[in-house]
């Protein structure tokens, strides 16, 4: 107890003397409903009672306000005495604090002050503040508002959505929270009355409060309770004595007046009153050799001790304790009655209860039960074993027989040896902790928040990536077989989560039930500044992913069919997605931590139902805002790794190495107040989540799953073994038969499936086209050989049928799920078209030899000529001269060139005539900009330009270096496809498209519009941008990103272009050219 008050004389409060002017501290209507509050885990359950202390409400929701009057309203149904009341507070600075009790004759209307205790000044602290000792009589039939008033801003607490409601109390029930739907006034000193309206009642709310009560003086009532008499005039007081419900004995009390004390004495003679909980027992059908029990409760609702002389019956199969017993007034006693049949017949009889109840000395209850011969059970065969090739299935039959005398009721199902438990879970690795100083001031709600429309350009069109120096990366998982990820459909997983999510959320320490996450593509705030627009979900194929609110949807960014769902539960956001061809999954956006607090991560490993899973954890915590915790779960496999931002302001978290992953889970949870949720709880959450999905293997099943076999009968059960997707090896399980045979445990039928793994070779792409290559030059391309089977794939060798194509012919082995790149090089000194075939030989039983078509064309290289061979000039300071070079191409292909100035020659020239050697021009002759590797035309042939030595490059480069005073570090004419460029639509109005017609070349051009080229949508502002790949400045500075930003509005008639530059990967932009309103 932090502070305790003293009772204050009500006459002094009524006189209002010795106090400053009354302070109207809480205007009418200042309720907590509708205001901002923080949700957190309750500290105590409602209705808890310990040694006369009754606790109501909890710390589920906290509020920071003041001045306030807060407490609860009660309906009194039994006379009691209020000895003390307490309110749980966080007092930030010393304050006036009054504990008050108001009494009302009706639920609505005027409540008058009947008790006041002053704790002023209440010292700072968090805990229970008390009224001190009281003796307030709570009278049945009346209403009481028990509350506290505090002047300064304090933190106080309540609980909402309580069930059942009203909350039972020893003297009645709590019917409203005073301050939720309606707020009492907060005057200092307190008001002598409160007007309680009907609006005060409705929602199931209770403020965190403790009451200490004791017996009240209910057997004596005096009316009137107060008044005034003139000198010489008598006043008549009616004193009513009521022995209802009182135990036998003497009761004494004093009627206290200022001048007189009147003794009152009442003698009561007690009477026992027996009440039984039932009038008969019907035990139904019970097998011989077993028993069934039920209970009889004997209650004494009288006022004297009840003596039960015994229980008796004349039927021996009904068994009970017949010894005498006593029951005190208001108490009860339980007797157990058991039916234990010895014969297969029906039994009926009477149970007699004899007591000293003057009105019901003998009571009779009916007894009935029927004995049955029990069923039996036999199963054949007693075990099942089968060998199958991976991908095959087969069915066997189990026979159940009932040799007993009653129906055999049974059900059957498989159990597997591995389940989720912390015994097979571990923390594989932990990152360091990256910290910022914890804040000491209270953060302004929403600080740092940026709306989608005002975010830095580039933040919503693609996953923003922090600078490489600000990223932590885990080591990739060692090469190993891919986990046998269960193939349960998403529909089943969603149903299981809907049923079992409570088993996950209950494990989250200090759980914070964040808001949003049902719809849209991001969480804007989440409550308590948890986010500043975050939780955007991307893959390497695009994004952000649209939240699906518990519906199964499709999205191309997931590859293949792209099926997924997101679902929101209290304290949980869940994504489950089927992937195909996805390599990276990224969470990005901004957090409310704004650079404060700490960030760390971990890699967790566990095994569930025979499958090994890897969990990637990122945590941002200790910033005052709710902590943000990512948990990305995939079946284990080679190359899996994760990386995350070191800044607590960034939500960036990327999981890579997913090319062989077919199912991904992402779980988001939060801790209240920035609390840290460590690796131990994270492992528990991961295991519980996987258990909630019900990921048991699907290779064993039994049909039907339950039934009834009559006495002497039998039935067949079809058992199916399915080796589809199983790795080679032994897979064991038990078929468990549960039944109603008394005294026998469930039967277990051991089963074994020996799966013979089958390797399966897959090669991608199916054709390699090298395009045009300069004769005498070479070009290299890569294909990927994968094992999508269930046993080790052994590649015995690789070969090609033409000498122009070369590769490493050595064989290799691939575990299931593994892959390996194979490099092929084309080179020819002769011009011509070359078609060949690459052959891969392996132990794939279906395709032992796989061929890949090869195509290339050797073309004549360009040949550069330059005239004159050198340039010289003699100029006075301030003069200039223009001279010309003729660059010719006498070769057989286009000559692409770039002129650079040799930096060494320029520096020597600047040092003076004597120090400067003749200038050395340098020209880089390059192939035309090419498509990304693997870009092929409709015919499957490579559309990249020729590549190879021209023979004249080096000499030409040296000669042309002096023609330019600036070195070109990046070039892209935007006419040959994206080349790493991305597009950005601001305001979600538009996209960059490529036209299908010529703009400045025979290929396609970039065009900014939703509509075809030349078509404008009138009256709509369109803002778009094209964002470059990262540009290396070649030592002249940090890498940069450029953004070309066109903004035009056809209705207002303006059009302008901007060029922005970013040095941090697109998170922040600075203008290089142009601005809104400029051209």
pLDDT at 239: 82
283-342 residue pLDDT tens: 999 999 999 999 999 999 998 999 999 999 989 999 999 999 999 998 999 999 999 999
Q: Is 426 helix (H, G, I), strand (E, B) or coil?
A: strand
341/383 same-domain check: no
Q: Are 924 and 961 in contact (CB under 8 A)?
A: no
User: Looking at the domain assignment, is residue 460 inside a domain?
Assistant: no
Q: Is 15 helix (H, G, I), strand (E, B) or coil?
A: helix
209/353 same-domain check: no
877-918 residue pLDDT tens: 878 888 888 889 988 888 888 887 664 444 444 444 443 344
pLDDT grade, residue 35 (50/70/90)?
Answer: confident
880 CA to centre of own chain: 70
Q: Is 328 helix (H, G, I), strand (E, B) or coil?
A: coil
Neighbours of 577 (CB within 10 A): 26
CA–CA gap between residue 112 and residue 89 (Å, rounded): 25
| Cβ-count burial 703-735 (b if 16+ within 10 Å, e if not) | eeeeeebebeeebebebebbbebbbbeebebbb
Hey, what are 834's tokens? 């070359």
943/806 same-domain check: no
Q: Is 737 helix (H, G, I), strand (E, B) or coil?
A: strand
Query: Does 650 score more than 90 pLDDT?
Result: yes
User: Looking at the domain assignment, is residue 475 inside a domain?
Assistant: no
User: Looking at the domain assignment, is residue 401 inside a domain?
Assistant: yes
Domain limit, last residue, from 963, 991, 1024 = 963
Hey, what are 785's tokens? 């050989």
Instruction: Look at residues 859, 834, 821 and name the one whose alpha carbon lies nearest to residue 941.
Output: 834
Instruction: Look at residues 1026, 1021, 943 and name the one whose alpha carbon lies nearest to residue 978.
Output: 1026
Give the full edge-to-edge strand order of the sheet including 982-986: 982-986, 1022-1027, 1041-1049, 1054-1062, 1070-1073
Domain limit, last residue, from 215, 244, 264 = 215
User: Looking at the domain assignment, is residue 257 inside a domain?
Assistant: no
682/703 same-domain check: no
User: Looking at the domain assignment, is residue 318 inside a domain?
Assistant: yes
776/738 same-domain check: no
CA–CA gap between residue 425 and residue 688 (Å, rounded): 12
Report the CATH number at residue 734.
2.60.40.10
Lowest mean pLDDT among 376-390, 1005-1019, 1052-1066: 1005-1019
Q: Is 900 helix (H, G, I), strand (E, B) or coil?
A: strand
CA–CA gap between residue 737 and residue 1049 (Å, rounded): 74
Torsion (CA) 69, 74, 75, 80 in degrees, nearest 10: -120
Q: Length of the chain in residues, anyone?
A: 1079
Instruction: Look at residues 327, 324, 335, 354 and name the one whose alpha carbon lies nearest to residue 297.
Output: 335
- The one-character DSSP state at 698 is S
CA–CA gap between residue 928 and residue 748 (Å, rounded): 72
389/485 same-domain check: no
CA–CA gap between residue 881 and residue 288 (Å, rounded): 121
Instruction: Look at residues 902, 936, 931 and name the one whose alpha carbon lies nearest to residue 918.
Output: 902
Q: Which residue has the tokens 């792409």?
A: 765
278/145 same-domain check: no
77/158 same-domain check: yes
573/712 same-domain check: no
Query: Does 530 score more than 50 pLDDT?
Result: yes
Express as a percent the part of the chain with pLDDT over 70: 75
**Helix ranges, 646-697 (H):** 679-692
748/765 same-domain check: no
306/386 same-domain check: no
User: Looking at the domain assignment, is residue 220 inside a domain?
Assistant: no
**Helix ranges, 778-852 (H):** none
Q: Which is more confidently placed, 18 or 618?
A: 618
pLDDT grade, residue 254 (50/70/90)?
Answer: low
pLDDT at 567: 97
Q: Are 13 and 192 in contact (CB under 8 A)?
A: yes
pLDDT grade, residue 824 (50/70/90)?
Answer: very high
CA–CA gap between residue 707 and residue 408 (Å, rounded): 8
DSSP for 772-790, please give it: EEETT-EEEEEEEEEE-SS
621/494 same-domain check: yes
- Mode of pairing for the β-strands spanning 393-401 and 378-380: antiparallel
| Cβ-count burial 924-952 (b if 16+ within 10 Å, e if not) | bbbbebbbeeeebeeeebbbbbbbbebbb
User: Looking at the domain assignment, is residue 615 inside a domain?
Assistant: yes
Express as a percent the part of the chain with pLDDT over 90: 50
Per DSSP, what are the bridge partners of residue 473? 643
Largest pairwise CA distance in the chain: 141
Query: Does 46 score more than 80 pLDDT?
Result: no
Whether cis (ω within 30° of 0) applies to the bond prior to 224 is yes
Domain limit, last residue, from 637, 671, 692 = 692
pLDDT at 486: 44
546: containing domain: 480-692
pTM: 0.45
Q: How many domains does the chain have?
A: 7
User: Looking at the domain assignment, is residue 245 inside a domain?
Assistant: no
């Amino acid at each position: 107890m932090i502070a305790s008050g003293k009772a204050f004389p009500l006459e002094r409060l009524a006189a209002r003397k010795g106090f400053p002017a009354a302070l109207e501290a809480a205007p009418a209507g200042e309720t907590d409903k509708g205001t901002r509050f923080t949700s957190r885990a309750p500290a105590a359950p409602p209705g808890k009672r310990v040694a006369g202390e009754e606790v109501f409400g909890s710390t589920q929701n906290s509020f920071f306000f003041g001045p306030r009057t807060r407490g609860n309203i009660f309906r009194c149904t039994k006379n009691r005495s209020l000895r003390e009341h307490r309110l749980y507070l966080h007092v930030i600075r010393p304050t006036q604090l009054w504990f008050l009790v108001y009494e009302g004759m009706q639920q609505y209307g005027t409540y008058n002050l009947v008790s006041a205790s002053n704790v002023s000044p209440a010292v700072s602290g968090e805990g229970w503040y008390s009224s001190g000792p009281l003796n307030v009589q709570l009278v049945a039939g009346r209403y009481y508002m028990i509350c506290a008033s505090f002047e300064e801003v304090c933190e106080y607490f309540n609980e909402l959505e309580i069930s059942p409601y009203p909350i039972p109390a020893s003297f009645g029930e709590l019917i409203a929270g005073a301050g939720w739907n309606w707020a009492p006034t907060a005057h200092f000193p307190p008001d002598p009355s409160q007007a309680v309206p009907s609006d005060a009642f409705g929602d199931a709310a209770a403020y965190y409060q403790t009451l200490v009560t004791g017996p009240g003086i209910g057997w004596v009532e005096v009316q009137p309770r107060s008044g005034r008499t003139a000198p010489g005039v008598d006043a008549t007081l009616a004193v009513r004595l009521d022995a209802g419900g009182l135990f036998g004995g003497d009761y004494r009390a004093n009627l206290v007046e200022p001048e007189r004390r009147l003794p009152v004495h009442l003698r009561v003679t007690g009477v026992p009153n027996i009440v039984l909980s039932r009038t008969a027992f019907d035990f139904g059908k019970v097998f011989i050799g077993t028993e069934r029990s039920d209970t009889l409760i004997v209650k004494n609702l009288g006022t004297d001790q009840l003596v039960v002389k015994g229980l008796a019956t004349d039927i021996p199969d009904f068994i009970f304790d017949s010894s005498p017993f006593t029951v005190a007034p208001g108490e009860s006693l339980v007797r157990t009655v058991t039916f234990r049949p010895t014969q297969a017949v029906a039994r009926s009889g009477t149970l007699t209860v004899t007591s000293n109840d003057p009105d019901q000395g003998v009571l009779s209850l009916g007894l009935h039960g029927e004995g049955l011969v029990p069923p039996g059970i036999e199963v054949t065969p007693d075990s099942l074993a089968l060998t199958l090739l991976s991908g095959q299935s087969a069915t066997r039959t189990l026979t159940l027989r009932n040799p007993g005398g009653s129906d055999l009721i049974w059900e059957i199902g498989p159990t597997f040896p591995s389940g989720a438990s912390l015994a097979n879970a571990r923390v594989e690795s932990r990152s360091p902790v990256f910290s910022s100083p914890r804040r000491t001031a209270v953060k302004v709600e929403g600080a740092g928040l940026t709306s989608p429309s005002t975010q830095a350009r580039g933040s919503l069109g693609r996953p923003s990536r922090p600078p490489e120096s600000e990223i932590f990366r885990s080591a990739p998982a060692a090469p190993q077989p891919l986990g046998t990820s269960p193939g349960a459909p998403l529909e089943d997983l969603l149903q299981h989560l809907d049923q079992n999510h409570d088993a996950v959320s209950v494990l989250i320490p200090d759980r914070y039930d964040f808001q949003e996450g049902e719809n849209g593509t991001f969480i804007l705030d989440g409550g308590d500044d948890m986010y500043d627009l975050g939780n955007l979900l991307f893959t390497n194929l695009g994004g952000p992913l649209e939240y699906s609110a518990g519906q199964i949807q499709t999205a191309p960014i997931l590859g293949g069919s792209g099926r997924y769902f997101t679902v929101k539960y209290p304290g949980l956001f869940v994504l489950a997605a089927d992937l195909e061809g996805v390599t990276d999954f990224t969470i990005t956006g901004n957090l409310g931590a704004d650079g404060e607090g700490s960030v760390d991560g971990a890699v967790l490993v566990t095994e569930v139902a025979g499958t090994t899973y890897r969990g990637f954890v990122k945590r941002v915590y200790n910033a005052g805002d709710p902590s943000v915790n990512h948990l990305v779960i995939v079946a284990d496999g080679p190359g899996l790794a994760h990386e995350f931002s070191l800044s607590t302001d960034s939500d960036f978290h990327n999981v890579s190495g997913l090319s062989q992953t077919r199912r991904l889970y992402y779980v988001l949870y939060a801790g209240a107040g920035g609390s840290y949720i460590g690796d131990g709880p994270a492992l528990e959450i991961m295991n519980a989540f996987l258990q909630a999905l019900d990921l048991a293997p699907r290779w064993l099943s039994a049909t039907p799953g339950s039934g009834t076999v009559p006495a002497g009968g039998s039935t067949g059960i079809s058992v199916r073994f399915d080796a589809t997707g199983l790795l080679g090896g032994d897979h064991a399980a038990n078929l468990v038969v549960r039944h109603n045979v008394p005294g026998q445990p469930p039967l277990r039928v051991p089963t074994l499936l020996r799966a013979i793994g089958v390797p399966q070779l897959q090669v991608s792409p199916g054709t390699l086209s090298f395009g045009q290559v300069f004769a005498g030059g070479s070009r290299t391309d890569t294909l990927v050989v994968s094992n999508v089977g269930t046993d080790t794939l052994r590649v015995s060798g690789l070969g090609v049928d033409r000498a122009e194509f070369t590769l490493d012919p050595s064989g290799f082995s691939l575990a299931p799920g593994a892959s390996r790149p194979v490099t092929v090089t084309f080179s020819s000194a002769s011009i011509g078209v070359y078609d060949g075939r690459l052959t891969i030989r392996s132990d794939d039983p279906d395709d032992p030899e796989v061929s890949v078509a090869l195509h290339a064309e050797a073309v004549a290289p360009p040949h550069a000529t330059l005239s004159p061979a050198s340039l010289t000039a003699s100029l006075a300071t301030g003069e200039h001269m223009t001279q010309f070079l003729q660059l010719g191409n006498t070769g057989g292909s286009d000559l692409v060139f770039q002129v650079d100035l040799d930096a060494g020659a320029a520096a020597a020239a600047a040092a003076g005539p004597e120090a400067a050697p003749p200038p050395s021009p340098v020209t880089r002759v390059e192939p035309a900009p090419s498509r990304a590797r693997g870009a092929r035309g409709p015919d499957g042939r490579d559309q990249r330009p020729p590549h190879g030595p021209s023979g004249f490059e080096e000499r030409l480069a040296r000669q042309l270096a002096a023609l330019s005073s600036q070195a070109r570090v990046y070039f892209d004419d935007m006419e040959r496809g994206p080349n790493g460029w991305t597009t950005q639509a601001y305001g979600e109005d538009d996209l960059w498209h490529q036209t299908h017609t010529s703009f400045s070349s025979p290929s396609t051009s970039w065009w900014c519009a939703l509509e075809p080229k030349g078509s404008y949508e009138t009256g709509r502002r369109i803002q778009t941008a094209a964002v470059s790949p990262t540009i290396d400045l070649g030592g002249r500075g940090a890498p940069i990103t450029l953004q070309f930003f066109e903004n035009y509005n056809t209705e207002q008639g303006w059009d302008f272009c901007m060029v922005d530059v970013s040095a941090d990967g697109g998170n922040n932009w600075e203008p290089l050219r142009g601005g809104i309103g400029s051209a």
